Amino acid sequence: MISKTIIGLLVLGSSFSSFGQKCDKVLFTGRVIDSLETQSFYNLMLVNRRTGQGVFGQPNGTFSIYVKDGDTISLSVKNYLLVKTVVHADSNCQFKGRYYIERRFSDLPEVAVRPLKSLEQIKEERQELAMRETRTVTGAELFQSPITALYQTFSKKEQNKRWIAEQEYHDDQRRIVKELLRNYVAYDIIDLTEEQFDQFISFLNINEDFLKTATEMELITFIQDKYDHFKLTAEIQTMDSMRWRSKLDSDKRAAIHELLTMYIENKAFDLPTTEFDRFVTYLNLDYAFLNQVSDADLFDFIRAKYSAYIDFYHIDVRALKSGYNLTVADNEDWQWDLKHKNKKTATLTLLRLYNSHKVIQLPEEEFDKFIVFLNLKESFMLSATNEELIQFVREKYYQYLSFYKK
């Protein structure tokens, strides 16, 4: 009797343990079904609302995707109502669902509507993209027909032919990209109006070889990233820029500091305040330029300079995160050790603090080796600000990982 009770408790305990386990990944599988008629879902797409990433389902309506517990997933099929679901992992870290979808119906006035091309059709057009050939004399023909070659080189008629062929080629590119954007808007991957397409396509500046050869997911990822940047640029352009411009006449450097703060608050890029002075010097912005340039052109200029700055100084962008919710009080323990014990004990206390706040992530058995690599000077520990110390340790941490190939 006692043994049966013990076995029962063990089984019960294991079931509670599996029930309460935390899943790093959840396998979300399922199927969409049209209850009214049999359909092939060639354009079924699943979009994770947390990450913005999307994957395609199978033509029979089935799908399979790895997500995190609690993620919201949108299931989108062209001409059907969007379905949203929240993932809840079972004891096997799986989530299964069956979704009955409904066609879109509306009583709108009759209008001429351009039908969406399928992604497969657009892919074929992308791969076939080519500039119309205009007859040009080259190579051996050049010596056989020099008069024809000179005519083609200098004739306005021949130049116009080449110019028209180039324009037609660029128009074909833009038309194909527009078809892609219409699909992405229909699937809620991006949110643009038809009127914004031309502006966004110019902003994309998509490479023609990439357009022809990229996979669907490579295109989606590229366009999503550019779309986020496009939205951010639009938001910053519409902001009241008088906050920094009002300081321009009296203190140019302070005005630029204010401008950089505005960019960072809007997540245009990452840069701790400790880097501001060096970056301002690197920017070398002229007063006349600042006074005349538009907000949009200034944003693009500083973004380009920022990328060059990161490359020039070999800065690991991962090390630029600041804050970590560390206060002055958090540093009292290692500062007390530095004053009353020794530098190594103080550094150990500091690393434990940084580990707990995820400034770094190292097992304690690595601390001794990392302290040697860190080579932290006592004078720097005493004089550095909280931000400067965090940034120094973070940069050294990533160098350490790279050096030991962890």
Structural domain harbouring 129: 119-235
**Whether residue 299 is found in the same domain as residue 279:** yes
Residue 71 C-beta-side C-alpha neighbours within 13 Å: 26
**Boundary residue ending a domain (216, 235, 254):** 235
95 with 198, same domain: the answer is no
* Residues 334 and 231 both lie in one domain: no
Q: Are residues 183 and 96 in the same domain?
A: no
Examine residue 46 and state whether it is found in any structural domain, yes or no.
yes
Shared-domain flag, residues 250 and 231: no
Distance CA 346, CA 352 (A): 10
Q: Which residue has the tokens 């809007």?
A: 266
Distance from C-alpha of 22 to C-alpha of 93, rounded to nearest angstrom? 8
**One domain for residues 198 and 215:** yes
pLDDT value of position 19: 46
What pLDDT was estimated at residue 93? 92
Kindly state whether residues 243 and 230 are assigned to the same domain: no
340 part of a folded domain = yes
Q: What burial letters (b/e) apply to 9-24, b meaning 16+ CB within 10 Å? A: eeeeeeeeeeeeeebe
Whether residue 58 lies inside any domain: the answer is yes
CB-based contact 174:182 (threshold 8 Å)? no
**11 domain-assigned:** no
Residue ranges, the chain, pLDDT below 70? 1-21, 35-43, 52, 104-119, 129-167, 169, 232-242, 267, 316-323, 405-406
Please indicate, yes or no, whether residues 230 and 127 belong to a single structural domain of this protein: yes
The answer to whether the CB of 248 falls within 8 A of the CB of 286 is: no
Residues 218 and 285 in one domain: no
Q: How far is CA 128 from CA 109, 179, 209, 343, 353, in A?
A: 37, 15, 11, 67, 58
Residue 13 lies in a domain: no
Domain end residue (candidates: 217, 235, 253): 235
Taking the chain, what is the end-to-end CA distance rounded to the nearest angstrom?
53
Within 8 A by CB and 6+ apart from 360, the residues are 351, 354, 393, 394, 397
Residues 311, 333, single domain; the answer is no
Of the three residues 252, 286, 315, the one that is the final residue of a domain is 315
Half-sphere exposure of 242 toward its Cβ, with a 13 Å CA cutoff? 1
* Distances, alpha carbon 317 to alpha carbons 11, 219, 226, in Å: 49, 25, 19
Does a structural domain hold residue 1?
no
Decide if 78 is inside a domain.
yes
Give me the number of domains the chain comprises. Answer: 4
CATH code of residue 41: 2.60.40.1120
Question: Are 188 and 169 within 8 A, CB to CB?
Answer: no
pLDDT value at residue 277: 86
User: Is residue 34 exposed (0-12), middle (13-18) or buried (19+ Cβ within 10 Å)?
Assistant: middle
- Both tokens of residue 351? 């690393």
Q: Are residues 250 and 154 in the same domain?
A: no
How far is the C-alpha of 402 from the C-alpha of 104, rounded, in Å?
Answer: 53
In-domain check, residue 113: no
C-alpha 177/C-alpha 171 separation (Å) is 10
Q: How far apart are CA 326 and CA 323, in angstroms?
A: 6
User: Are 253 and 306 contained in the same domain?
Assistant: yes
Helices 276-283 and 295-312: angle between axes, nearest 10 degrees: 110
